[in-house]
Amino acid sequence: MPGPRLSPFRQSFLRVLSAICCVFIAAAVMARETLDFNRAWRFTRSDPDGAQAPSFDDSGWSVVSTPHTFNDTDTFDNWSPPGHRGEGEQWSGRAWYRKTFAVPAPWRGKKVFIEFEAARQVAEVWLNGEKLGTAKSGFTPFGFDLTPHLKTDGSPNVLAVMTDNRFMVDPDPGAKLAPGQDRAGSLHDMLVRMERDMPARLEDLQAGQIPWNNPHWHPAHGGIYRNVFLHVTDPLHITLPLHSFLQTEGPYAYATEISAARARVGIDVPFRNDRASAQHAVVRVEIFDASRNKVLAAEAARDIAPGASGKVTLSSDIIRPLLWQPGYPHLYRVVCSLSVDGRTVDRTEVPLGIRTVRWDPQAGFFINGSHVKLHGWGQKPTDEWPGLGAAQPDRLHAYTLRLMLDAGGNFVRWGHAAAGPASIVAADRFGIVTLQPGVDGEMDTSGAAWELRSAAFRDVIIYFRNHPSILIWEGGNQKVSRGHAAELRAHMDNYDPHGGRVYAHRRADEITAAFMDIGIGTEGGREIARLPVVEGEYNREEAPRRVWDDFSPPTFGYAAVPGKVQTYRLNSEQFAVNQIAHYVKKLGSPAHAGGANWIFSDSTSGGRVETEVARASGEVDGARLPKEAWFVCAAMWRSDPQVHIIGHWAYPAGVKKTIHVASNADEVELLLNGKSLGRAKPEMRYLFTFPSVAFSPGSLTARAWRGGKEIAAHTLRTAGPAVALRMTSPLTGRPEKKTYDGLPAKSVLLSADGADVALVDVEAIDADGNRCPTWQGRVDFALEGPAVWRGGYNSGRPGSINHTHLDLEAGINRVALRATLEPGRGVLRARADGLRSAGIEFESMPPPSPVFAASPSVERFQPEAVLPVSAPDWQAVPALARPQPPLVRTASADEKMAGRFTKTFSYSAPGSQITHLDTDAQPGKNAYADTDSPFGELPAILRGADWIKACNSDALYNAVDLVELAVGTGAVVIIAHDDRLPRPPWLADQFEQTPDKIAVLGKPMTLFVRRMPDGGSLTAGANTEAGAPAQANMYVVFVAAAK
């Protein structure tokens, strides 16, 4: 009698499981295999009792593949709350994943480990009803040995994972309260309470008590949002780089003596013998270059007792090594193996990049003997995306890094927790120098939270120490205590002593700096003047992509919205032009190593503009569509000739405006319809300005000149009326003969693994195929075939995700489709009123084998970088004529003072471009940089003092680290604070109120004083953290001699 008929989906699901099992059987006969364990999990966004039990019925749960987040449907959909609080209106709680699998016979007698690249925020892992452990860091890889609880008799094994993303939310100082309800207090109050209530034991630490689990810093996207792997090994095996729960390290490859002629390479290979008897094993290492040529081989034999662990260190020379650096990211493959009686029993691979680095406080950054200016971005480790959240396939993470590279970026700072393996591997391959933190928000912590943070930093170092792109380990986004700094530094010294990397903190003081090699600056600041500095966060402005300028329809500028907080109200043109001033003024000094613009893509963390659904600080928007600022960065940072006209050329009749051009040339000529409007010399190196250009339809061309020769050109053309839609994919695709309404279509490729993503761009075009840059209207989509609609977003409209319609912005928008487990073909169609429709085909291909021949760190689901045809001539570099260590540290013996009593200061509010330190305060001098604001009478202690001449327009700006300063010897810091405002907690806690007052702009300001230790530093926050009047003075910071 025939059985019940299965749905096509269930038939496909069973085919996938059958294929995976067949691969498992084939893999099991090999020495070691790493298996993609992402496909076909059961999932519920609920917390049913007994979900960890093998007998639990999960048949009603949905089927998902990892990477997966349960917050993909509720992100980028609410107004960004002011005050840097981040997106808080998201589902949070406990959710469950389950996977049932049978172990094939060849696995018997093997070791089976599971690796999670990360899960948010807390993950409990169970196998067959046995709890394996609980991971709580949220951003670091972890794993377990499944072997003790694994059924190998063919009966099913049940793996269950509970994820908990309950998160803390900053208090809303402007919230309307019910009668009798107490205000929640400030962020400072919340953090004080958190530390007061912090449990001492890690097992008692809850998800909502973890300081970095806060959308203020990291969007709280819950789930198994990175990859999952199984590692099947012999009982005699090379151990995994997963310290928490396994207490093991993986191989460690490094170079200690580096020159153009040779490099001394060392490889530590750790192993463990879980066989029942002693083994005589041979440890072998082979190194291959990018062309697969073997360049080194070494081996050693060891007798290993049963249950014993050990480590073999092998070393040898690579002759004429190919070095790793931006522009030439050469990677070696290090193959480590164990053999017994001539048979290989285990094998794994790690990458190796050979480079020598020097940081110099007077000269900046050098790699392989050559000076390199670092320029790039900070980016959130969630790397979040509208409609997808933090759960993306590897190739999408690589796509983000590729966009950085294409704009001339060679540096990324992940803030303020560890980036995932996919992003680090992409940086290796693209030659992007990387700052990798552990886990942090923006403060020191204690108790169980510190135990977790310290262990996570150790785990990050062990897991990622073979990746050559990582040159900086960041111990924290703020200073920490002496004991904590020593503890974190010891992790680097113990687990990465030869990696050529430096240890650093942002917002450091001399206590933390005693353990640092370089400093991490903010807004061009330099807290520790004797140390080299790399920028961590400059240019925190915000501007959406959709608003061109003040002359362009349909918005004609970025309008003020009554009742909404708009700390920044910049259009795309202003945001783009400002890139140049921020970069040149803050990082332009030859002594500055360069660093990170904050941030690369628009994020749902920490915004300050209540009329956007994201923090619009990115040079690309949340869907990675470039803003004009991206092109400006490319014009500054790329080494090839660049010129870019900021904006478009499709204005209403009668418009006359300034045209801004960004270029790395010496001179730029502007031509309108072929007629020259003159030439311009650069302002601030890269900006060329042509005032009062009258719009005339046709073409606007910028020609860039250097040394009397034209080196580049850029032309904008006036688009006609929109007549049609056009659909393309920024990722891989292939042309198809089929057309939709006369427009050619392309086929987009997907992998039918349930997690892959296709991107589709939709444009409004004129009859000649030009994008219509001011067309903003609704487009409706219809999807047919094996894919899930994930859509996109509109940055100025809440609730725009989860719909099959979107507005185009500046003539374009981008949507995403997610693969299912079903192969096949489909089509996505788009239509808009009055325009010809468009379509694009996609094909979901059977996924590749889930077995890696090497290891995930070497073999990732993303494109390979292409090396230049010729390697640099390292023989011609004087510094490489003799062996160099992987890291050369230099520091200045004497520190320059920024003022008479002030060593260094930084200021992070919108007015940072004109804020500066002034000296010799006297009556009649202006208190502020942006308005006529003469001091009246000053008490004796303030006469002759240094003061930070800030912008009074920043009075209501919110930041926990608005001012950072360090003082010399014998100094006091005095702050004058407006009496119309409530005193912020940081002021009341750190300073003593005096009876003295000064008057600024006719308003009384009380003086608060703090005696500083010699060389001490402090951080000052927002002017107010509670509801504030519309008018208030910015506080004034003085540094004076102690009396």
Looking at residue 614, which CATH number applies to its domain? 3.20.20.80
| Inter-CA distances, 934 with 899, 912, 923, 927, 1009, Å | 20, 20, 7, 6, 22
- What is the DSSP-derived secondary structure letter of residue 70? T
What backbone torsions phi and psi does residue 960 show, to the nearest 5 degrees? Answer: -80, -15
3-state SS class at 813: strand
Active site residues: 537
Residue 553 sits in the same domain as residue 696: no
Residue 203 sits in the same domain as residue 288: no
Percentage of the chain lying above the pLDDT 90 cut: 77
Domain assignment present for residue 266? The answer is: yes
| Inter-CA distances, 214 with 47, 210, 211, 218, 757, Å | 22, 8, 7, 6, 27
Q: According to the model, what pLDDT value does residue 1030 have?
A: 67
Strands 824-832 and 835-845: antiparallel
Taking 50 as the threshold, does the pLDDT of residue 736 lie above it? no
Digit-coded pLDDT (tens) for 55-112: 999 999 999 999 999 999 999 999 998 878 899 999 999 999 999 999 998 899 999 9
- pLDDT range class, residue 22, cuts 50, 70, 90: very low
Domain assignment present for residue 873? The answer is: no
Taking 50 as the threshold, does the pLDDT of residue 413 lie above it? yes
Domain assignment present for residue 457? The answer is: yes
- Which of 590, 605, 637 terminates a domain? The answer is 637
Structure-block tokens of residue 546 = 């959709």
Residue 466 sits in the same domain as residue 586: yes
CATH number of the domain to which 76 belongs: 2.60.120.260
Domain assignment present for residue 120? The answer is: yes
Residue 65 sits in the same domain as residue 200: yes
Domain assignment present for residue 863? The answer is: no
Specify whether the CB–CB gap between 420 and 397 falls below 8 A: yes
3-state SS class at 940: helix
Residue 511 sits in the same domain as residue 393: yes
Specify whether the CB–CB gap between 878 and 373 falls below 8 A: no
* C-alpha neighbours within 13 Å on the C-beta side of residue 308: 12
Domain assignment present for residue 176? The answer is: no
CA distance 666 to 707: 7
Residue 493 sits in the same domain as residue 610: yes
CA distance 391 to 372: 34
Q: According to the model, what pLDDT value does residue 186 have?
A: 67
- What is the DSSP-derived secondary structure letter of residue 607? -
Digit-coded pLDDT (tens) for 309-358: 999 999 999 999 999 999 999 999 999 999 999 999 999 999 999 999 99
CA distance 285 to 804: 54
Amino acid identity of residue 861, one-letter, is F
Domain with 630 in it: 361-637
Domain assignment present for residue 388? The answer is: yes
- Which of 301, 325, 355 terminates a domain? The answer is 355
Residue 313 sits in the same domain as residue 404: no
- Which of 333, 355, 377 terminates a domain? The answer is 355
Residue 80 sits in the same domain as residue 192: yes
Q: Which residue has the tokens 């850029």?
A: 714
Residue 913 sits in the same domain as residue 804: no
Structure-block tokens of residue 572 = 């795309």
Residue 712 sits in the same domain as residue 754: no
As a whole number, mean pLDDT of residues 244-249 equals 96
Residue 632 sits in the same domain as residue 687: no
- pLDDT range class, residue 958, cuts 50, 70, 90: confident
As a whole number, mean pLDDT of residues 268-285 equals 98
CA distance 773 to 651: 10
The total number of structural domains that make up the chain: 6
Domain assignment present for residue 225? The answer is: yes
Specify whether the CB–CB gap between 844 and 308 falls below 8 A: no
Taking 60 as the threshold, does the pLDDT of residue 9 lie above it? no
Residue 621 sits in the same domain as residue 673: no
Burial (CB < 10 A; 0-12, 13-18, 19+), residue 301, is: exposed
Q: According to the model, what pLDDT value does residue 1027 have?
A: 57
Average pLDDT, the chain: 91
CATH number of the domain to which 740 belongs: 2.60.40.10
CA distance 604 to 615: 6
